[in-house]
Structure 1
Amino acid sequence: MAHPLESLVVRHTLRVPAPSGPAGQGGTAARQFDAALLSVGFKLSAALLDHLSGLAEETVVETAARTLDTVREMTGDHVAHNAYFKDFPANVPDTVEFWAQCVREALAGDAARPGTLAQLSTGVLDLLTLPSYGGYRHTYAEMLAAHEELTAAAGDRMTVLHRGGTPDEEATALYLALAGSTTPLGEEGLRDLGLLAGHCAEGPQPTEIPVRENRAVVNRARLGLGAELLADTVTDVLRLACALSDGDVSLTEPTRLKRLSRPARRALLAALDAVVAASPAKLADVTAHREEFKRLGERLHPHEYPRWPHAARVFAVARGEEEARTLESRVEELLGSGDVAGAARLLAAAAPGRLLRSLDRLLRACPGPRERGAVAAAAEEAAPRVSGRVLLSVREHLHNRAGGPPARRVFVNGRGRAWVTADTRAALPASEAGRLAAALDAEVLRRLPDPGHLLVDPAVLDVALPLSGKATAAGLGVLPRGSLSPVDGELLRFFVHWTQTAANTDYDLSAVMLDSSYDTLSWLSYTALQAAGGEHSGDITNAPAPDGASEFINLRLDAVQGAFIVPQVHVFSGEGFEEVAESFFGFMLRDGEQGGRPFEPRTVRMKSELRGPGRIALPLVFLRGADGAWRAKWLHLYLRGTPSANRVEENRATVGTLVRGIVEREYLTVRHLVGLLARRARSTAQWDGAGLPDGPVTYIGLERPDGLHPDSVVVTPENLRALIPG
């Protein structure tokens, strides 16, 4: 029988929970399973193949069916990717000739002829009114028949699935890893943590849940069991109320709180009462979410429970009936009087993490070196009480400020919404910036574990540290914002797929080519079907379930002019990225003569969910190096755009500015932490792919090699957050 969380484990860990069942002769079925996986770019590890071969054939077949469904969805192969032009990328017409053909076909039909003539008489024609524009003119099967089979190539992606423990062991291990994460999880991670928490709430628990959003999700499961809630701030209780209402536990977006049961109300009021009784100063946290606490009070009815008077004070503060002076007001008072060192000392004592995040402002506010020294000393004293994620974030900030302020600042919020503004800040003093950077490195090094024998895949060194899972979309082969990865192949092919929920929805895939000054050279879109050495597969304007719709862009990299390629997905009309039933973007790499269908799962290098707040998505940018080689740099950005008719021609300047901000920013990467870990390691080596040590190692790489010692500690993109110390 399948474990309810088996698919989730495979997605997050690339481990297949070892199925149990009667022994048998499953070797033939296991090899067939392995062959089927190869068609989608996966394979079984030697240990997993051996385990399956010793089970009954029926068990192997059932495991294969479930796992194949999971990995096909991971690559995007669970849907039928049709293309408007059946022979794509061959025989894509000139754009104007194609539009003229659609007009001729409309004029040839009795139904569309009058309307088309009327539009032509005005000099303006709406392509969407032409019957042959925007919809598939052939079936998926007819499209497949027009393409030869893909020729296997050495560069095809091959992702190894490893043998896991029992299903319950794997689910528990994943629960502990997600719940105890030192960095915030993305939307998918939080959702999956909720599923795991419901299954694992009565089993082993992490020693600490440092991320507040994770704590809210776990508290929801604990509340259902009647277990004690994990809450040491009033905001923890507010987050739990949002979780119970299926809302945003990060408190970024407003949540419409649901009516709560009497036991839930009692539990939340008791938690609030305990927090305030232990530390009345925490009432100050209410003011940051005053309106939300008012709504919570309407749901909890605190007046019905006089036994929890401290809880009632929370809502009195929210209503303005009781004053609770905030830390921010005290800090601003000190800064207003010129006492920068006093403000730093106050923050160091009350909110050390906030002190470190305020260092740039405090250092610039100092009138002289004595005050700057006092601020730096306060930060050094506070550093041991600050989370590793904040230490590394501030370290990255100091590194980017070391060379003076750039012309513009790029801001990206937790949901990927990006904007740009002029940078008017004065430069940071070099001496204090260097002193603080060294102090932060020393504190991070103190917390890092002894890696023993450290083995590193060089390909992972330029991956940005996952300081927040919110900066990374869910999917296959997706890396944190700012990461760099090589692009090896002659053909680069983007794809987008979407399935609308209720309204007709038109997404448009585009790619703009920029020069070294970030100015536009050319683009590919539905208005430019052939350009820049590439082809667009054609405009699809409606994506009903169950098949949805797909668009592609094909590029020959040696023919691309310019320094940057920026793929984009525009919402032209209909539902946004968070409203459709499904939407995802990805890219494939192929050798020049491989052929194959428009979509071939084993050539997919990345597939990323599109679930952002804007109407324009910028998943990543491709950069040409001085040596002519291409690399991808991950963006995970969303632009607001307009409610409809978003087009690549109209946002080129904004895109160029944003891309420049991300490309020229230096992110803190795995290379930085590996350098610190190497100081603790007994030995450090780079893995060349040829052989593995006999004993256990700490391995850091893009993929887990088959054959590592079972006692090895393995860090790959799936669990890269494990590198961030608590």
Structure 2
Amino acid sequence: MVLSLESLVVRHTHRIPAPTGPAGAGDVAARQFDAALMSAGFKLSAQLLEHLSELSEAAVVDTAVRTLRTVRELVGDHVEHNVYFVDFPANVPDTFDFWMRCVAEALDDSGSRAGVLEQLRKGVVDLLTLPSYGRYQHTYAEMLTSHDELLAAAGDRMTVLHLGGALDDEVTGLYLALAGSATPLGEEGLRDLKALAEHCASGPQPETIAVRENRAVVNEARLRVGAELLLDTVTDVLRLACALSGGDVTLQEPTRFRALPRPTRRALLAGLDAVVAAAPAKLADVHAHREQFKRLGERLHPHEYPRWPRAAEVFAVARGERQARSFDSRVEELLCAGDVLAAAGLLRSAPGKLFRALDRLLRSAVTEAEREAVVAAVEEAAPAVAGRVVLSVREHLDNRADESGDRRVFINRLGRAWVTDERRPPLPKAHRRRLVALLDAEIRRRLPAPGRLLVDPDVLDVALPLSGKATAAGLGVLPRGSVSPVDGELLRFFVYWKQRERSTDYDLSALMLGADYETVSWLSYTNLSAVDGEHSGDIVDAPEGASEFINLRLGAVRGTFVVPQVNLFAGEGFEEVEESFFGFMLRDGDQQGRPFEARTVRMKSDLRGPGRVALPLAFVRGEDGRWRAKWLHLYLKGTPTSNQVEGNRVSVATLLRGIVEREQLTVRYLTELMAEGAGGTTVWDGVSVPDHPVTYVGLERPEGLHPDSRIVTLENLCDLIPD
């Protein structure tokens, strides 16, 4: 358990909990550790190197072994990345010539000759039946001998690992940060919170746990140690039951409830009873998840516990035996009747719902008095609304066009997206401007005084992480909608997957689009080489893991957009395989090295989505000729099998247009608000750091910051979101 907790701290904070052990002369081992880290694109901070040098060699080696395992997995260097074409990116053949070579080799093979001849008579050959197609023809070691050693370059990534505090302090701090996060966590974050909660349930707790999914995970751990449960809605109890059954605490997928022990059933029923006793109107919340409440009632047997009659009422509502009119239905009735004043008045008691209904209220308002009443209700309710909801509405107002006819993009929490025409009438300009100013003032009021502000310019175009579900787990991953610079001559994508039970074929492809989103060209297994770059070759089976690469020469790319994608051609989905991830590397034009070199990796993200086509990000060439990454984190539904880049070009172009043209609230927005109350704002030059405390906001933490500084980087970017 100690090892896994230490690994969590390193992954989330890029700090190594202060290594302990007997004193000694560990300086040589520490420098060797640093050198090994550099091969993976990491290095020790000066303070950490000094700390390790004062420990014994054995203590340093133990720390090195644990840490190297963690960081190599973080960057994707824990597996062997082989390629089909051993010399890739050199000597990649023409696609048709390659296929003909595979056919010729199959005809020379006595075991496959008859089947291939039969296919040739019919006029169509299935590539997957050819023995030399889609399966490695050399070992990983043989591939390595075909490549020169990587030449170091100034642009290679180097992520600094810093010295942390004691392990218990680091674990507790990480637990408090995740549990008390102002924004929902992604799948990995919830999994990590679960491990931390089991260790920290009896220790310090966040002042508030606003995100309901987080509360469910924490309640599961608190129940196991006999601590008081944090419940204030009937849905909190349902989420806890899902957690206890290993189900989905977000309630997006139905949970198959397990048989629960009697003490657990008593705790859940007592919790339901207390919630309803305190606020009988909360029975109406049952309607949103009626079927799951019915299934839960079958496991809890409320009739066996007459001392908690209000808990039984929950399941009576779920079965339709008792009426409990929902708040939303009352609002809907008023809006359908055209009574905007009454609807706004009712929504004052539910500030979050008022904010989410704001657009509809303004569109439904006919008179100036109604519009003024809506704005007044928002102004009154704003202080009681969660910060991320305020920011979401602020972003929404930025994207409400003055004229209809634009496109709307919808993206759910699973990364599924669709586009439709904008048919809503525009919002009144004057009221939209007033609301923007009102929300800006509310956010500014909530932001803490930053003191002196130091800002890394590269972080300014990073989208605010209003939900962890808009960001995949990994290294160097930015929230959906973020824009980041791309500096390098060679851009190389990679995908790795390892199947669990069935033969699985993922296809890495890259679609090049023009300024009007028209198709210019593509690279895939059906088009292995072009002016733009090369494909490493198709792999169709991954029992031991498989990799595919695309190499692009940015100066030669035709078009304005490059959209890498991973197509599920056959086999296990992204959520079924044992492991799958995507990433990209940047290299100078004269850098050699293997197809995969960890220190040139700029981003590596897990592929864990429900669709059949993954779109992690896109690359956009600006008017200045420079390339920038636009982060997508999308999954297209695709087809059950045989997904190809050629078949989804229109869908990809449509989605890309919608996201590229959408305005995002970024770190720039918040830092500009913070700067108004700062004692001074400095744009970091990437080299020097002040000797006084600052609030630093950037992609990575610089060395040498004053110990009393507040530091916000990608690892804790959600800390910028005010409560």
Q: Deviations over 1:284-342 (max 9, x none)?
A: 00000000100110111000000001111000000001100011111111112211121
- Counterpart pick for 2:623 among 622, 626, 649: 626
Alpha carbons 1:455, 1:687 under 8 Å: kept: yes
Q: In the alignment, residue 674 of structure 2 is paired with which amino acid?
A: L
Tell me the equivalent position of 1:381: 380
Tell me the equivalent position of 2:294: 294
Q: Deviations over 1:387-418 (max 9, x none)?
A: 00000000000001144345321111001011
Tell me the equivalent position of 2:40: 40
Tell me the equivalent position of 1:683: 680
Alpha carbons 2:613, 2:635 under 8 Å: kept: yes
Q: In the alignment, residue 679 of structure 1 is paired with which amino acid?
A: E
Alpha carbons 2:202, 2:227 under 8 Å: kept: no
Number of aligned residue pairs: give it: 723
Tell me the equivalent position of 1:131: 131
SS of residue paired to 2:454 = strand
Q: Deviations over 1:163-212 (max 9, x none)?
A: 00011110000000000000000000000000000001111110100000
Q: Report whether the alignment pairs 1:401 with 2:379.
A: no
Tell me the equivalent position of 1:95: 95
How far the C-alpha of 1:246 sits from its partner, in A, is 1.1
Alpha carbons 1:363, 1:375 under 8 Å: kept: yes
Q: Deviations over 1:660-686 (max 9, x none)?
A: 111110110000000111111111111
Tell me the equivalent position of 1:670: 667
Instruction: Write the distance in 2 (CA, Å) between the matches of 1:123 and 1:355.
Output: 64
How far the C-alpha of 1:372 sits from its partner, in A, is 1.1
Q: Report whether the alignment pairs 1:116 with 2:116.
A: yes
- Give the alignment of 1:498-513 within 5 angstroms: 498-513=497-512
SS of residue paired to 2:413 = coil
- Give the alignment of 1:592-671 within 5 angstroms: 592-671=589-668
- Counterpart pick for 2:700 among 703, 706, 710: 703
Instruction: Write the distance in 2 (CA, Å) between the matches of 1:435 and 1:280.
Output: 37
Instruction: Write the distance in 2 (CA, Å) between the matches of 1:236 and 1:404.
Output: 42
Tell me the equivalent position of 2:210: 210
SS of residue paired to 1:398 = helix
Bigger Cα displacement from structure 2, 640-649 vs 678-687: 678-687
Q: Report whether the alignment pairs 1:424 with 2:418.
A: no
Tell me the equivalent position of 2:283: 283
Instruction: Write the distance in 2 (CA, Å) between the matches of 1:109 and 1:302.
Output: 69
SS of residue paired to 2:681 = strand
SS of residue paired to 2:338 = coil
Alpha carbons 1:623, 1:632 under 8 Å: kept: yes
Q: Report whether the alignment pairs 1:565 with 2:568.
A: no
Tell me the equivalent position of 2:581: 584
Instruction: Return closer, same or farther for 1:520/1:485 CA change in 2, 3 Å cut-off.
Output: same
Alpha carbons 1:522, 1:532 under 8 Å: kept: no
Q: In the alignment, residue 510 of structure 2 is paired with which amino acid?
A: A
Q: Deviations over 1:610-669 (max 9, x none)?
A: 000000000000000001000001000000001100000000000000011111101100
Tell me the equivalent position of 1:552: 549
Tell me the equivalent position of 1:21: 21
Instruction: Write the distance in 1 (CA, Å) between the matches of 2:591 and 2:4.
Output: 39
Q: Report whether the alignment pairs 1:458 with 2:449.
A: no
Q: TM-score, normalised by structure 1?
A: 0.99
Alpha carbons 1:404, 1:428 under 8 Å: kept: no
Alpha carbons 2:416, 2:611 under 8 Å: kept: yes
Alpha carbons 2:334, 2:343 under 8 Å: kept: yes
SS of residue paired to 2:577 = coil
Percentage identity across aligned positions?
72
Q: Deviations over 1:691-712 (max 9, x none)?
A: 1111111100000001111111
Tell me the equivalent position of 2:535: 536
Q: In the alignment, residue 160 of structure 2 is paired with which amino acid?
A: V
Instruction: Write the distance in 2 (CA, Å) between the matches of 1:390 and 1:643.
Output: 36
Q: Deviations over 1:240-274 (max 9, x none)?
A: 01111111101111111111111110110011000
Instruction: Write the distance in 1 (CA, Å) between the matches of 2:494 and 2:281.
Output: 53
Alpha carbons 1:567, 1:618 under 8 Å: kept: yes
Alpha carbons 2:460, 2:667 under 8 Å: kept: yes
Alpha carbons 1:523, 1:532 under 8 Å: kept: no
Tell me the equivalent position of 1:263: 263
Instruction: Write the distance in 2 (CA, Å) between the matches of 1:330 and 1:458.
Output: 48
Bigger Cα displacement from structure 2, 687-696 vs 273-282: 687-696
SS of residue paired to 1:690 = coil
Instruction: Write the distance in 2 (CA, Å) between the matches of 1:406 and 1:121.
Output: 54
Tell me the equivalent position of 2:311: 311
Bigger Cα displacement from structure 2, 441-450 vs 593-602: 441-450
Bigger Cα displacement from structure 2, 397-406 vs 715-724: 397-406
How far the C-alpha of 1:4 sits from its partner, in A, is 3.6
Alpha carbons 1:402, 1:433 under 8 Å: kept: no
Tell me the equivalent position of 2:515: 516
Q: TM-score, normalised by structure 2?
A: 0.99
SS of residue paired to 2:100 = helix
How far the C-alpha of 1:2 sits from its partner, in A, is 5.0
- Counterpart pick for 1:694 among 667, 691, 695: 691
Instruction: List runs of 5+ in structure 2 lacking aligned partners.
Output: none
SS of residue paired to 1:531 = coil
SS of residue paired to 1:401 = coil
Q: In the alignment, residue 474 of structure 1 is paired with which amino acid?
A: A
Tell me the equivalent position of 2:169: 169
Q: Report whether the alignment pairs 1:486 with 2:452.
A: no
Instruction: Return closer, same or farther for 1:262/1:2 CA change in 2, 3 Å cut-off.
Output: closer
Alpha carbons 1:402, 1:430 under 8 Å: kept: no
Q: Deviations over 1:354-397 (max 9, x none)?
A: 11111111111111222111111111111111000000000000
Instruction: Write the distance in 2 (CA, Å) between the matches of 1:121 and 1:9.
Output: 61
Q: Deviations over 1:89-146 (max 9, x none)?
A: 0000000000000000011111111111111111111100001001000000000000
Q: In the alignment, residue 201 of structure 2 is paired with which amino acid?
A: A
- Give the alignment of 1:124-273 within 5 angstroms: 124-273=124-273
Alpha carbons 2:514, 2:520 under 8 Å: kept: yes
Bigger Cα displacement from structure 2, 418-427 vs 22-31: 418-427
Instruction: Write the distance in 2 (CA, Å) between the matches of 1:508 and 1:121.
Output: 29
Instruction: Write the distance in 1 (CA, Å) between the matches of 2:617 and 2:367.
Output: 42
SS of residue paired to 1:489 = coil
Q: In the alignment, residue 146 of structure 1 is paired with which amino acid?
A: S
Instruction: Write the distance in 1 (CA, Å) between the matches of 2:633 and 2:558.
Output: 24
Instruction: Write the distance in 2 (CA, Å) between the matches of 1:477 and 1:263.
Output: 44
How far the C-alpha of 1:690 sits from its partner, in A, is 2.6
Alpha carbons 1:3, 1:167 under 8 Å: kept: no
Instruction: Write the distance in 2 (CA, Å) between the matches of 1:292 and 1:217.
Output: 18
Instruction: Write the distance in 2 (CA, Å) between the matches of 1:395 and 1:484.
Output: 19
Instruction: Write the distance in 1 (CA, Å) between the matches of 2:141 and 2:336.
Output: 71
Tell me the equivalent position of 1:323: 323
Instruction: Write the distance in 2 (CA, Å) between the matches of 1:566 and 1:429.
Output: 37
Tell me the equivalent position of 1:355: 354
Instruction: Write the distance in 2 (CA, Å) between the matches of 1:489 and 1:267.
Output: 58
Bigger Cα displacement from structure 2, 333-342 vs 35-44: 333-342
Instruction: Write the distance in 2 (CA, Å) between the matches of 1:324 and 1:82.
Output: 60
